[in-house]
A and B are shown apart, each in its own frame.
Chain A
Amino acid sequence: MSINEVIIAEDVSKEYRRGHEIIVAIKKLNLKIKRGEFFVIAGPSGSGKTTLLNILSGLDKPTTGRIILDGLDTNMIDEKQFPKIRRERVGFIFQNWNLIDGFTAIENVEAAMWPSELSNKVIEERALTLLRMVDLIERKDHRPKELSGGEQQRVAIARALINHPKVVFADEPTGNLDSKTGESIIKLLKELNKKEGVTMIVVTHDESILKFADRVARIKDGILTIES
C-alpha cells in the first residue's frame, strides 16, 4: 500500500436484497485515488454512483472486498470509531446542501467541529477563514433560508473543509443549481483542491464538470470504467 493513495478499493462488490431478488449495485470494483486528486465519478441516475460514494466514504460497508481510507481498512473499524474518523479525515458536500435551518452560516460551518476538543476561538477563526475563502464573510450571520442556493452550497463547502479533511466527497454538488452557479461551485472546488491540497471525489451526472477533473471514471450498472 502506497502513502500516495488516499483511497484504495480492492475487489469491492455491493449487493442488496429486494424481496427474493438480489441486486448487484457495485461489481468487482478496483480503484486507487491519489492524494490531492480531483476525481470525478460520472454516470446516469440509478447507476450506483451514490452507493459507491457511500462505500468509498465508509458510510456503508461493501458486501465483499475492502476499502482503505487514508490507510485504514473500513471493514476493520469499529462502528464507535467512525464518528472520530469522519471528523478528522473526511468532509461531505451534499446535493441538497443539508444546512441546519436554525443555525447561521458560520454556525453551520463550525458545527462539524463542535464535538472536537478544540476551543471555540480556534473553531471560529478557522470558520471565518473558510467563509472568507468562499467569499461569504459578509453573509456569515445569515440563516440558510436567507441565502441563495449557490451561497448555501458555498457554506456547505466551507463546512466540509473545516476539519482539514484528507478527502472530500461531493454528491451531485451542482445538482440543484443552475448551470452558471453550478460551474462557479465546481471552479471553487477545484481552486480549494489546489490551494488546500485536499482530494476531491465528485459524483455527478453533469457532463460539464468532467473538464475540471484530473481523472474521470464512469459507472454504469455497477461497473466502473476509468477513462482518463
Chain B
Amino acid sequence: MNFRIFLKSLKLAVRSRKRFVLFVAIYAILIGFTTIFANIVYKTGNGWGVIGSLISTVGTAVVYGLLLSGYRKMQVATLRCLGWDFSNIQSLFIGELILVTVVAFLVDLEIAIHQIGLIYYFTGLAGIVQLGEPLFQPFWFFLTFFITLGIQCIGIYVAYYKMKKVKPMEALRKV
C-alpha cells in the first residue's frame, strides 16, 4: 500500500462531505446497535439482534464499496492513464473506508462518555434520577469496532473488484 496516497485519501474522504457524514452516521448507528445487542447476547443468550446488526454492517460495507467505485469510476480511469497501478488506487479506497469506521467509533465513544458522565452526575444527586447502566459495555464496544473494521475488508474487496474492470481508455470517453 502506498502510504502517501493513503494519507491523501483521508483528505479526499473528508472533502466529500455529504457522503462522509452520511456513512459516519450509518456506521455510528450500526456500531452502537451491535454493541448493545452483543451485550444482550452476553446477558440473555438471545443472538438475533447482533446477527441482524452484523448483517446490516456487511450490507452497508458492500453498498459503500459499490458507491465508491461507481462515484470514482472516471477518477480511476484517469489515474490509470496517469500511471497509477491497482495497489495505488486501492490505497485511495482503503483510506476512506477506514476513516469512516474510526470516526463513527469516535462518535459512539463520545456518546458513551457523555452517558456515563450523566449517570454519575445524577446518581450523585442522591439517586433522584436513575439512568441505568452505561449504554456501551467497553469490552463489547471495542470488539464491535474491530469487527466493523474487519468487515470493511468486504467493502474494500467490492470496490477493488469493480475498479479492476475500469479501463484507462474510459477517461478519454466523451461525456
Contact between B172 and A102 (Cβ–Cβ < 8 Å)?
no
Which B residues contact A (CB, under 8 angstroms)? Answer: 2, 4-5, 8, 11-12, 15-16, 74-75, 77-85, 88, 167-169, 171-172, 174-175
Residues in A neighbouring B169, C-beta threshold 8 A: 54, 59-60
Contact between B81 and A92 (Cβ–Cβ < 8 Å)?
yes
- Which of B8, B85, B171, B174 interacts with A92 by CB under 8 Å? B171
- Which of A88, A101, A115 interacts with B88 by CB under 8 Å? A115
A188 near B: Cβ within 8 Å? no
CB within 8 Å of B: which A44-73 residues:
50, 53-54, 59-60
Contact between A94 and B83 (Cβ–Cβ < 8 Å)?
no
Given A92-B82, A163-B83, verify A171-B88 contact (CB < 8 Å).
Answer: no
Given A114-B8, A114-B88, A115-B88, verify A102-B16 contact (CB < 8 Å).
Answer: yes
Contact between B15 and A98 (Cβ–Cβ < 8 Å)?
no
Contact between B172 and A114 (Cβ–Cβ < 8 Å)?
no
Contact between A114 and B74 (Cβ–Cβ < 8 Å)?
no
What separation, in Å, do the CA atoms of A51 and B172 have in the docked complex? 10
B174 closest partner in A (C-beta) = A95
Which one, A3-11, A20-28, A79-87, A210-218, is touching chain B? A79-87
Shortest B62–chain A CB gap in Å is 23
A143 closest partner in B (C-beta) = B15
A sample of 30 cross-chain residue pairs with beta-carbon separation below 8 angstroms, ordered by A number, consists of A53-B172, A54-B172, A59-B169, A60-B169, A83-B80, A83-B83, A83-B84, A83-B85, A84-B85, A85-B83, A86-B81, A87-B83, A87-B84, A90-B83, A92-B78, A94-B78, A96-B174, A98-B75, A98-B77, A100-B75, A102-B16, A111-B8, A114-B8, A115-B5, A115-B85, A120-B4, A143-B15, A163-B83, A171-B172, A175-B174
Contact between A98 and B8 (Cβ–Cβ < 8 Å)?
no
B167 closest partner in A (C-beta) = A59
- Which of B15, B74, B171 interacts with A102 by CB under 8 Å? B15
